[in-house]
Amino acid sequence: MTLTRRHMLKLAGVSGLAMSLPSLGRAQELEKKNLTIAVGGKALIYYLPLSIAEAKGFFNDEGLEVKVADFAGGSKALQAVVGGSADVVSGAFEHTINLQSKGQFYRAFVQQGRAPAIVLAVSKKTMPDYKSPADLKGKKIGVTAPGSSTNMMVNFFLEQHGLKPSDVAFIGVGAGAGAVTAMRTGQVDAMANLDPVIGTLVKDDAIQIIADTRTVADTKKIFGGNMPSACLYASQEFLDKNPKTAQALANAIVRADKWIQANDADTIAKTVPASYLLGDVELYKQCLQANKESLSPDGRVDADGPATALNALAAFVPNLDAAKIDTGKIFTNDYADQANKKYPNV
């Protein structure tokens, strides 16, 4: 007898054959198989789990067809989701707080990073005599995009040192070769960016680092606690309508988180697209080593992370009333917990 699809599905329901035929049942279970993830600076190590999940086929393994739309910065990626051209954001955790303050409810549901990994540096070309943060007054500071997490980090740093955002001029420079060029040519006097951009400029001896959040210890020193960073977040409406799809996304990211921690820089550099290496594989590997601690090992948000992020954001976002923010609605570890049960190891 020839087995039809109907016969096979009946057998799967009776005997558990679905476990060995995932493509037959899984796609039907997902509420939304095809979706778009918006990200601001895909090549950044900050978003490495997203790239690994894509490159290693982890999204496909979960029955998903994912398109990654890359933008110049996190604020642009957020606009894509709010505007309806993307479903989920791969972006900075603190955007969920800012959105709630405006009456829009978005929730982080799996982490890619446990430290911001943002570095603030000054140009040795235009600020060779830099001595203190006060020297930044009146200067041009490059950020990936105005309103992005790099912009927010600089605002917080300025606030800590008695300066206001209006004391400087912010310029969007992106997160790739354009940012490197902006610093090399003196278009900006300082820059908040991430690796491999920062690593490239360090190699060029073009910058002096003045604030660094690539390690958990330095992050706690600057922000006063654990500061969640890159995550997947979506509107609460999307999560309510697509819980199985959200779980599939979380499964892929947690699997990528663990894969990164289990593999060395050589293996990772061979896995990401060649364009990420900016023409220098050894430099990229050095950047990986410098940032590995900042990447999440399991997709979970640290217990004190939401409060740290809220305190930091409230310090420099005008009219943000921290007392009115419900941090329980800006994140959940439920999806990451389930993903860790499915993938206890790599």
- Segment 254-288, tens digit of pLDDT: 999 999 999 999 999 999 999 998 789 999 999 99
The whole-number pLDDT of residue 8 equals: 37
Q: In which residue ranges of the chain is pLDDT below 50?
A: 1-27
CATH number of the domain enclosing 172: 3.40.190.10
The whole-number pLDDT of residue 24 equals: 39
Are 231 and 206 part of one and the same domain? Answer: no
Are 110 and 135 part of one and the same domain? Answer: no
pLDDT tens sequence across 287-311: 999 999 999 999 999 999 999 999 9
Cβ 89 vs Cβ 38: under 8 Å: yes
Are 109 and 246 part of one and the same domain? Answer: yes
Q: 62 lies in a domain?
A: yes
The whole-number pLDDT of residue 55 equals: 98
End-to-end CA distance of the chain: 40
Round to whole Å and give the CA distance between 143 and 193.
6
Are 149 and 205 part of one and the same domain? Answer: yes
The whole-number pLDDT of residue 17 equals: 37
Are 300 and 233 part of one and the same domain? Answer: yes
Cβ 288 vs Cβ 73: under 8 Å: no
Are 54 and 144 part of one and the same domain? Answer: no
The whole-number pLDDT of residue 221 equals: 84
Are 257 and 324 part of one and the same domain? Answer: yes
Per the structure, the complete domain to which residue 182 belongs is given by 119-212
Q: Residue 112 has what DSSP assignment?
A: S
The whole-number pLDDT of residue 28 equals: 56
